[in-house]
């Protein structure tokens, strides 16, 4: 397991500490930049685990929480941050995470580059990243079968937003963008 960006001592010193397990450096750099901007960098740890499938990340989150409880429970939550991509263990990750209320999932669908791209372009549904929704927004989660979800993803997202094409389009809009680079938050703001 590779610890990134925040020293181990920080983990032991912060009672409301959050831990983020990230699939890639891009996600870790993005979270770190936001935490720095918000002044809470000393309350987070960012770890890139050796296994980075969604299900492996959730298992690692459970191990981290179990070890943390043995040491006196300083972690509030562990977040698993990953791209949807075409991970075969995607649905399994949700099932595993549902067993522990302190494990949270944060996924970009299909990739974080689409999130960055939305800062520059209108989406096909005419929303842009700057649109604000009036009043309280409610989200309903609808449980669908894994095969139905896969079909939706394949038929809709990957035709509209192929990860490779997202990266290419992002590079056209943001020529200085570097995968696994730094400065995302500052440049996007």
| pLDDT tens-digit series, residues 127-155 | 444 443 343 333 334 445 556 665 655 55
For β-strands 2-4 and 44-48, DSSP reports them as antiparallel
Task: Give pLDDT, residue 180.
Answer: 81
Rank 4-8, 61-65, 107-111 by mean pLDDT and report only the highest: 61-65
Contacts 24+ apart (CB under 8 A), 131-136: none
- CA distance linking residue 14 with residue 58, whole number of Å: 22
111 and 166 Cβ atoms separated by less than 8 Å: yes
Helices (H) and strands (E) in the chain, counts: 9, 5
Task: Give pLDDT, residue 152.
Answer: 58
Q: How confident is the model at residue 52 (pLDDT cuts 50, 70, 90)?
A: confident
Task: Give pLDDT, residue 150.
Answer: 59
Least confident of 31-40, 90-99, 135-144: 135-144
109 and 84 Cβ atoms separated by less than 8 Å: yes
For β-strands 103-108 and 75-83, DSSP reports them as parallel
pLDDT at residue 5 tops 60: no
Length of the chain: 189
| Strand partners of residue 82 | 107
Mean pLDDT, the chain, whole residue set: 76
pLDDT at residue 103 tops 60: yes
Cα–Cα separations (whole angstroms), residue 127 to 8, 95, 122, 123, 178: 41, 31, 6, 5, 25
Per DSSP, helices labelled H in 14-157 are: 25-38, 54-71, 90-97, 112-117, 146-152
The proportion of the chain whose per-residue pLDDT surpasses 90, expressed as a percent, equals 26
| Strand partners of residue 78 | 19, 103
């Amino acid at each position: 397991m590779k610890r990134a960006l925040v020293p181990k001592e920080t983990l032991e010193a912060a009672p409301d500490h959050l831990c983020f397990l990230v699939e890639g450096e891009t996600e870790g750099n993005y979270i770190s930049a936001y935490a720095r901007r918000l002044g809470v960098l000393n309350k987070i740890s960012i770890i890139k685990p050796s296994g980075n499938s969604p299900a492996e990340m959730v298992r690692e989150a459970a191990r981290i929480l179990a070890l943390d409880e043995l040491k006196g429970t300083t972690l509030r939550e562990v977040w698993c941050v990953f791209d949807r991509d075409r991970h075969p263990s995607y649905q399994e990750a949700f099932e595993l995470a549902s067993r522990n209320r302190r494990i949270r999932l944060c996924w970009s669908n299909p990739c974080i580059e689409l999130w960055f791209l939305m800062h520059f372009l209108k989406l096909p549904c005419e929303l842009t990243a700057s649109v604000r929704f009036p009043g309280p927004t409610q989200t309903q989660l609808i449980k669908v079968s894994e095969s139905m979800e896969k079909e939706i993803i394949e038929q809709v997202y990957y035709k509209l937003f192929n990860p490779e094409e997202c990266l290419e389009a992002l590079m056209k809009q943001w020529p200085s963008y570097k995968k696994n680079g730094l400065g995302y938050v500052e440049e996007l703001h």
